[in-house]
Amino acid sequence: MEKKEISAKYFFYPMPATLVGANVRGKPNYLTVAYCGMVNANPPFISVSLNKQHYTNPGIKENKTFSVNIPSADMAKITDYCGLVSGSKVDKSKLFDTFYGRLKTAPMIKECPLNLECKLLQSLELPLDEVFIGEIVAAYSEEQYLTDGRPDIKKIKPIVFSTNDKNYWKIGELIGQAWNIGKNFKPKHIGKNFKPKHIGKNFKPKHIGKNFKPKQ
């Protein structure tokens, strides 16, 4: 079938559904956010992009802290609700049990299986949105969502969001393991002596982060 140009909208799949927390005017506020993802592996930096008109933004700037809370599929209704109503009109501080961690001012949702506590490093102004880049200083969970001390996606049951059709989805069937299933892939166009297993084994990323001083 022929490729055709469709348009230049934000046709990106799949997206996460998260609840971004910040103290605004001294109270916890939680906003549903799909424009959120990792931007640096180590130290772990996360990016959250919010429409400039959101009630949350001044709170992040004031405290220089925020949280990214991962709701489970059974929290889909309340997650959607937090995206329907603005903190400027509705007090969302009592929707959840809030707890605080190391940074003291990043409110986190006890009911969410996973919470990422973030220190604001940098913000970036785009036409409609504002990008907040934060360092994840700590993560919080409960024993029931962990396997060998680490978060387990099958226990967390995060929500996938799809744009355009505007739907929330569960995580489905396991396809296979990353950095693994490709090892058996035999590219037709590349020589038969190619051994992907041996490539990259000695790759050691330099630790660049030591003297890194992000803008405050």
**Interacting residues with a second copy between 113 and 142 (CB under 8 A):** 114-116, 122, 124, 126-129, 131, 133, 135-142
> What is the spatial distance between Cα 156 and Cα 144, in angstroms, rounded to a whole number?
9
Residues in the interface with a second copy (CB under 8 A) total: 125
Cβ contacts of 99-103, under 8 Å, gap ≥ 24: 99/140, 101/137, 101/138, 101/140, 102/137, 102/138, 103/65, 103/137
> What is the spatial distance between Cα 112 and Cα 82, in angstroms, rounded to a whole number?
13
Does position 146 interact with a second copy (CB under 8 A)? The reply is yes
Among 21, 59, 101, 134, the residue binding a second copy under the rule CB under 8 A is 101
Does position 209 interact with a second copy (CB under 8 A)? The reply is yes
Does position 60 interact with a second copy (CB under 8 A)? The reply is no
Segment contacting a second copy (CB under 8 A): 21-29, 56-64, 193-201?
A: 193-201
Segment contacting a second copy (CB under 8 A): 10-18, 22-30, 55-63?
A: 10-18
Strand, helix or coil for residue 52? coil
> Which tokens hold the place of 214?
């992000």
Does position 27 interact with a second copy (CB under 8 A)? The reply is no
Residue 184 DSSP label? G
Does position 201 interact with a second copy (CB under 8 A)? The reply is no
Query: What are the residues facing 29 on neighbouring strands?
Result: 22
Closest approach of Cβ 140 to a second copy, in Å? 5
Does position 65 interact with a second copy (CB under 8 A)? The reply is no
Does position 164 interact with a second copy (CB under 8 A)? The reply is yes
> What is the spatial distance between Cα 132 and Cα 60, in angstroms, rounded to a whole number?
8
Does position 36 interact with a second copy (CB under 8 A)? The reply is yes
Among 56, 65, 208, 216, the residue binding a second copy under the rule CB under 8 A is 208
> What is the spatial distance between Cα 145 and Cα 27, in angstroms, rounded to a whole number?
28
Does position 104 interact with a second copy (CB under 8 A)? The reply is no
Closest approach of Cβ 86 to a second copy, in Å? 7
Residue 211 DSSP label? G
- Chain centroid, CA 129 distance in Å: 16
- Please name the residues in contact with 37: beta carbons below 8 A apart, sequence gap of 6 or more: 16, 46, 47
Segment contacting a second copy (CB under 8 A): 20-28, 55-63, 161-169?
A: 161-169
Does position 95 interact with a second copy (CB under 8 A)? The reply is yes
Cα angle: 155, vertex 37, 167; to 5 degrees: 65
